[in-house]
Amino acid sequence: MSLLSLIEARQARVGVIGLGYVGLPLAMAVARTGFTVTGFDTDPAKIIAIKARESYIEAVPQEILAQEVDAGRFAATGDFAALGACDVIVICVPTPLTKHREPDLSYVTRTCQDIARTLRPGQLIVLESTTYPGTTDGPVKQVLEETGLRSGTDFYLGFSPEREDPGNRAFDTSSIPKVIAGDGPIAGALMQAFYGAVVATTVPVSTTATAEAVKLTENVFRAVNIALVNELKVIYEAMGVDIWEVIDAAKTKPFGYMPFYPGPGLGGHCIPIDPFYLTWKSREYELTTRFIELAGEINSAMPRHVVTRLAEALDQFAGRALSRSKVLVIGLAYKKNVPDIRESPSLKLIELIEERGGTAAFHDPHVPEVPPTRAYGKLRGRRSTDLDKATVKAFDAVLISTDHDGLDYAALARWSPLIIDTRNVFGRLGIKSSHIFKA
């Protein structure tokens, strides 16, 4: 049977490389449509968890994982030689930045080298990792074609940017429209057949570079607009104007305005990182990305602004220096109701507080312990502090960095002598007090 026939009959064997926040939900979505899926990951802990039917991703319910494993539709392995048996291979590996804010494609390159070792005619290789326009048709194709096989003739190549929103229960992998593109018409048809079987809506575009640009555009849009409201926050703060009240009033306009909200900084695996892939690529064309770079500067400066506000509030309200203060940071995750701490501004806030001589701890119901991170190794192993009256009263200030649902904010307002609120959680709850400061 041809690959197209195998896909249409749900007989194509699918491999998903990278079983993290993108790969595992995708693998479940594909398996639930009837395909047999093998997940690949270099982390033995993930393989062990899956074999034990234990989900480590909140977006994948335990019972769904167990159901697909028990039905024989999903299995996980660290043996990349098994890629040769897969008809469709989807790459969902990290694409971070280097310390100089340049694209780090090492994970993608190593993955392509793994695929190349068993690459055979008739396979469809799809990249989902966010990257700059030209990656799929450039470095990815180059590594795979070093085997002597040719894209569009022997194997087929496509790109489909991941669209995940951790913690958002209104959308999942299957219900979010999927942008797709193939390297040539045959690859495009295979992409449509495969993703059309998995998601409710596909959005075909003309080239893989266009699809790559779509993802960057989505995240640049958010990064620039968040930077705008962060800058407005600082300006209006100096004027004695509440940015949150301004936004609430502005969003009543039924046209020409879309609300974005300020915060303590950007977090997650997309918005703080992806725009700089375009910044880097634009240099090849001798073009600058001034909006993107300025937005990055503004958003990166927010944790330091918050700590400055914290120090000022401690001095003015409590007559106490930050260097002699204990601060409890609420929320370590980068957004509410998820356990994901990638690029979380909370980590930077803790670091800055301690750089200024203060003592910092955190409470997060979703993050019991700080896992290993590339940039904040000194925080590894710290555990979430209990949230009770005696504990909170022992701190000089509480800093709301992530507004998780389910916390008793009214009790926090009663227990804490000083609160710095970066998310307007107390404003939304209608709790006003002279000891609550917005930042």
Tokens of 34: 């009837």
Which secondary-structure segment (H or E) carries 398? strand 397-400
Q: Which amino acid is at 113?
A: Q
Question: Angle 62-70/23-32 helices, nearest 10 degrees?
Answer: 50
* 92 in active site: no
Contact (Cβ atoms closer than 8 angstroms) between residue 334 and residue 268: yes
Q: Are residues 328 and 202 in the same domain?
A: no
Q: Are residues 297 and 195 in the same domain?
A: no
Mean pLDDT of all residues in 306-331 = 96
- Range of weakest confidence among 2-6, 231-235, 255-259, 375-379: 375-379
Residue 125 pLDDT more than 80?
yes
pLDDT on residue 414: 96
**Counting Cβ atoms within 10 Å, is residue 189 exposed (0-12), middle (13-18) or buried (19+)?**
middle
pLDDT on residue 12: 98
pLDDT on residue 166: 74
Mean pLDDT of all residues in 136-163 = 97
Residue 6 pLDDT more than 80?
yes
Number of domains in the chain: 2
Is 237 within a domain?
Answer: no
Contact (Cβ atoms closer than 8 angstroms) between residue 399 and residue 364: no
Average of per-residue pLDDT values in the chain = 95
Q: Residue 76 is part of a domain; what is its CATH number?
A: 3.40.50.720
Q: Are residues 349 and 416 in the same domain?
A: yes
Q: Are residues 42 and 113 in the same domain?
A: yes
Half-sphere exposure for 84 (CA within 13 Å, toward CB)? 7
Nearest Cα residue to 361 out of 398, 389, 390, 317: 398
For 234-267, the DSSP string reads: HHHHHHT--HHHHHHHHTTSSSS-------S---
Q: Which residues contact 352 (CB under 8 A, 6 or more apart)?
A: 303, 304, 307
Residue 164 pLDDT more than 90?
no
Is 214 within a domain?
Answer: no
Nearest Cα residue to 263 out of 294, 234, 293: 234
The domain boundary, picked from 187, 206, 225, lies at 206
Q: Helix (H, G, I), strand (E, B), or coil: what is residue 360?
A: strand
pLDDT on residue 165: 78
Contact (Cβ atoms closer than 8 angstroms) between residue 179 and residue 201: no
Q: Are residues 175 and 84 in the same domain?
A: yes
Is 82 within a domain?
Answer: yes
pLDDT on residue 112: 98
pLDDT on residue 97: 87
Q: Are residues 294 and 156 in the same domain?
A: no
Sorting pLDDT into bands at 50, 70 and 90, what band is 267? confident
Mean pLDDT of all residues in 414-439 = 96
Q: Are residues 81 and 151 in the same domain?
A: yes
User: Residue 168 CB: number of other CB atoms within 10 A?
Assistant: 13
pLDDT on residue 168: 77
Q: Are residues 322 and 387 in the same domain?
A: yes
Q: What is the Cα–Cα distance from 366 to 406, expressed in whole angstroms?
A: 11
Q: What is the Cα–Cα distance from 439 to 427, expressed in whole angstroms?
A: 12
Is 215 within a domain?
Answer: no
Q: Are residues 281 and 390 in the same domain?
A: yes
Sorting pLDDT into bands at 50, 70 and 90, what band is 71? very high
Is 167 within a domain?
Answer: yes
Residue 374 pLDDT more than 90?
no
For 53-112, the DSSP string reads: T---STTS-HHHHHHHHHTTSEEEES-GGGGGG-SEEEE-----B-TTS-B--HHHHHHH
The domain boundary, picked from 206, 227, 254, lies at 206
Mean pLDDT of all residues in 270-282 = 89
Nearest Cα residue to 353 out of 399, 290, 392: 399
The domain boundary, picked from 138, 171, 206, lies at 206
Is 404 within a domain?
Answer: yes
Task: Output b/e per residue, 330-346; b: 16+ Cβ within 10 A.
Answer: bbbbbbbbbbbbbbbbb
Is 398 within a domain?
Answer: yes
Q: Helix (H, G, I), strand (E, B), or coil: what is residue 399?
A: strand
Report CA Rg, the chain: 24
Tokens of 167: 């913690």
User: Residue 421 CB: number of other CB atoms within 10 A?
Assistant: 24
Summarize pLDDT for 396-424 with one digit per residue, the tens: 999 999 999 999 999 999 999 999 999 99
* Range of the structural domain that residue 306 is part of: 263-438
Q: Are residues 195 and 46 in the same domain?
A: yes
Is 247 within a domain?
Answer: no
- Model pTM? 0.92
Mean pLDDT of all residues in 117-138 = 97
Q: Are residues 161 and 293 in the same domain?
A: no
Q: What long-range pairs does 307-313 form, CB within 8 A, spacing at least 24?
A: 307/349, 307/352, 307/353, 307/356, 309/420, 309/437, 309/439, 310/353, 310/397, 310/399, 310/420, 310/439, 311/356, 313/397, 313/418, 313/420, 313/437
